[in-house]
Chains A and B, each alone.
Chain A
Amino acid sequence: MTSSSLSPEEDDEHLVKTAAAGDDRAFAELVTRYKRRVFRLGARFTRSEHELDDLCQEIFLKVYENLKQFRGDAPFEHWLSRIAVRTCYDALRKQRYEKRHLPLDELACEPRDRRIDDQLSAAEARSVVMWALARLKAEERLVITLMELEEKSVKEIAGLTGWTEVNVKVRAWRARQALKRVLEETGHEK
């Protein structure tokens, strides 16, 4: 059976089985297919290119370690997304711990005096959001990023994080309140 006669899902499944049997080329092919998506998600939670590279490597290493547990009930992409989101969450919790132990100077990169109006460019808006999100708790940052920037539904977020839908809603509401407070305190909300 050639890979060209398979649907993308079947093709992924075939690659997963081959990779799990020890074929590194099959795994490298899976990485090539999905690295863009993983890098895109990882960029939402990391502060530098180096950190992003480390995070993406960690995600794919976890995927490799768990290949044999992939049962094919859902598409490979969904399974990979769950691992990616949970690894990002772990990284956020670690960042939060590190931030508490960093000198204040290293955190002084606040995009101040940027009012939120129609004049704000997309790049500026992104930096304001990143700056404000960095001040939230790990679970708040994760849920608001998935909901508002990745445009995932409550159900999808619950599936990705393993939280209940009620929990997702509560955390998202708290995250919005915290975000409004952060922006208000720093003069973005005037």
Chain B
Amino acid sequence: MKNKEADERLDLLFAKARAADPGPSAREEGFEGRLMAKLREQRGEGTPWYLWAWRSVPLFTAVVLVLITVCGAQTPGTGAFLSHSLTGGYEESTLVSYYTGE
């Protein structure tokens, strides 16, 4: 008897709940656009070449900075020229030139 009543109440609850249709969702608007964008993204078509170029700017900047640093370190400066001259047998004349500024 108690079980029957519980069943009846459950049926009543479902009947009432059915009457409350969820209704259209706000998310339905523009859904196709979002879905197609996701689809393109999955297929790897999402990013055009100019965006990839723009995203690569930090990488290229880093490469350029590294190259500048490496090239700068390898270019012989005044100190390197002086030491080379000192070991080449022209010690005296080189030193005189260096100190007199000739």
Query: CB within 8 Å of B: which residues of A?
Result: 24, 27-28, 31-32, 35-36, 39-40, 43-44, 49-50, 52-53, 56-57, 60-61, 64, 116-118, 120-126, 128-129, 148-149, 151, 176, 179-180, 183-184, 189
Contact = CB atoms under 8 A, between A and B. Distances in A.
B82 to A, nearest CB: 70
Contact of A52 (B6, B16, B18, B27): B27
B32 interface: yes
B35 interface: yes
A117 B28 CA distance: 34
B16 A31 contact: no
Given A122-B19, A126-B20, A24 B39 contact: yes
Interface in B1-46: 3, 6-7, 9-10, 12-14, 16-22, 24-28, 31-32, 34-36, 38-39, 42
Contacts of B21: 40
A176 B10 contact: yes
Given A43-B25, A176-B7, A125 B17 contact: yes
Contact of B35 (A52, A57, A129): A57
Interface of A is mostly: helix
Interface of B: 3, 6-7, 9-10, 12-14, 16-22, 24-28, 31-32, 34-36, 38-39, 42
Contact of A180 (B10, B14, B16, B22): B10
A102 B21 CA distance: 29
